[in-house]
Amino acid sequence: MSRALATVGRWRVANLAVVVVALGIAWLLKAFYSRAGFDELRWILDPTVRLVEVAGAGPFELEAQHGYLCRAHRFEVVPACAGVNFLIAAFVTLCLGVVSACTRARHRVGLLLGAALAAYATTLLANATRIVWAMRLHEAGASFGPLTPERLHRALGVGVYFAFLAALFTLASRVAGADREAAS
């Protein structure tokens, strides 16, 4: 019995280590983002803008050291549009939400790497979706009483990010559950 308790204790400590590493990565990324300019965020802005263009909401021109500008729609994508806060939330959500399914060291490392890749890909898709819809709102000049165009833009972002985060976590939970069942 004490051997089983020791195994459970090691499992909890190892999973706690994953949580600590995930939160550390999140903190470092947040610290980086708080100081980053356009050039430092090209790794996320460039592919996002390309996806927006593929969706037919472009073309965008590079405005050196500032962002991307779509002259046809009078809309710009700047560092505040990068979605790094969503990326952090998605990464941490995946790591903390799925870590309990990890039973081996390689699963924990795989979780950290897989969560990073999934969070990045989801961020690109969510951000591109949000920007395309924001451009449509901008073009329409939509406002509803106290919901000014700026507030609608913000509410749209919250809604899109929430939907993508919920879908990502649901998918990850199902995959983790299927992996756990296959291992038993």
Dihedral sign for Cα atoms in the order 148, 82, 29, 65: negative
Helix (H) or strand (E) holding 100: none
| Neighbour tally for 67: CB within 10 Å | 20
SS3 62: strand
**pLDDT of res. 158:** 94
Give the mean pLDDT of the chain: 87
Domain ranges of the chain: 2-183
> Distance (Å, rounded) from C-alpha 104 to C-alpha 177?
15
| Neighbour tally for 160: CB within 10 Å | 22
Q: What is the pTM of this model?
A: 0.86
Q: Say if residues 95 and 116 touch (Cβ distance below 8 Å).
A: no
Here the tokens at position 3 are: 């051997």
Write the pLDDT tens digit of every residue in 120-129: 999 999 999 9
**pLDDT of res. 4:** 47
93 pLDDT higher than 50: yes
Q: Say if residues 60 and 48 touch (Cβ distance below 8 Å).
A: no
**Beta strands of 37-184 (E only): which ranges?**
61-63, 67-70, 75-77
Q: At what angle do helices 2-35 and 105-140 cross, to 10 degrees?
A: 40
Which string of DSSP letters, residue by residue, matches 17-38? HHHHHHHHHHHHHHHHHHH--T
Q: How confident is the model at residue 37 (pLDDT cuts 50, 70, 90)?
A: very high
69 pLDDT higher than 80: yes
58 pLDDT higher than 90: no
> Distance (Å, rounded) from C-alpha 21 to C-alpha 27?
10
Q: Say if residues 155 and 163 touch (Cβ distance below 8 Å).
A: no
Q: What proportions of the chain, in percent to the nearest 5, are helix, strand and coil?
A: 75, 5, 15
DSSP structural state of residue 102: -
Average pLDDT over residues 177-183: 59
